[in-house]
Amino acid sequence: MARIWTLGGLSVPELLRRTWIESWTDAVYGQAGRMAFYHFLAIFPSLLIFLAFTETMPSIGPGVKSTAAGLIQEILPSQAAGLVQQMLTELQRHTPAGFALISACGGALWAALNGTWALVFGLNTAYEVEESRGWWKLGTTIAGLTLVLTVAASLALIFLFSAAHIGGQVFRQPASAILRALEWLVVLATLMFSFAVVYRFAPNLRDAEWKWSTPGSTCALLLWVASTIGLRFYFEHISNYYQTYGHLNTVVMLLLWLYFTNAAILIGGEMNSEIEKAAAASTSPQKSDRTDELPRRRVSF
């Protein structure tokens, strides 16, 4: 950890310069678009499954759905949040069962697993390693990462609902400012945990260590917060893309938010990789914890 947080001997400007160059070289922004596509395909089937699951919990189901809607409104640009909430309402009216629900589960699972696979590929490129894990080990890793991230998000929603419910019981009416601060705190904590899981298990690294916090995860978190706030401001005060895309502008907003979110994750991985390369070079130029390093290549656009 000391080696990580000393940035491998690099200055902050030098680290940022190397991270920017490697992000461009490794086609991070194109890979982020691929990931955003699969995550977009996974969102609405996942919402369908989420609604079907909450129907089995009549005591807390409506509250969890309300918490999810409020959190979406806090994070996404207002029109994109409106699209998701509209879909929640429509899906709630026609909650499927039987084969339709199985089909939705299959579609969500296929898209989510492909999104995680794209994440693994992107981080392997960031850490300059080839994928040498067997198909069963790689498949288990992809499925495990998808499951852990889904469970983490679900537990965060349940925790937020429980906190709001308890606050309402104690104070009769929960303080909105405190609740909003708690929402963001839980979101940030969930993201930091997710980054720790992803950076530990997604890339094919030998003897990788668990780290709750790294400069890369901090960078990814800051980029995500900045892009989320920036997109909200841009779409709500500068241009909402209606004249360009018409009624599809809300879909474009959601895709762009997913794109920036995934780009932040990959850039964080690039930063961690640059720190570890610098640290390894300063201690032993011949030693590296990477397996099957990829030759460096330049990507032209």
Q: Report the 10 Å Cβ neighbour count for 202.
A: 24
pLDDT digits (tens, 9 = 90+) for 70-123: 778 878 888 888 888 887 777 777 666 667 777 877 888 898 899 999 999 999
pLDDT of residue 145: 93
pLDDT of residue 297: 43
pLDDT band at 298 (very low <50, low <70, confident <90, very high): very low
Secondary structure (3-state) at 288: coil
Q: Find out whether 259 and 33 touch, Cβ atoms under 8 Å.
A: yes
**pTM above 0.85?**
no
CB under 8 Å to 63, separation ≥6 — which residues? 161, 164, 165
Secondary structure (3-state) at 97: coil
pLDDT digits (tens, 9 = 90+) for 149-190: 888 888 887 777 777 666 665 555 555 667 777 778 888 888
Instruction: Summarize the confidence of residues 50-71 as an average pLDDT.
Output: 72
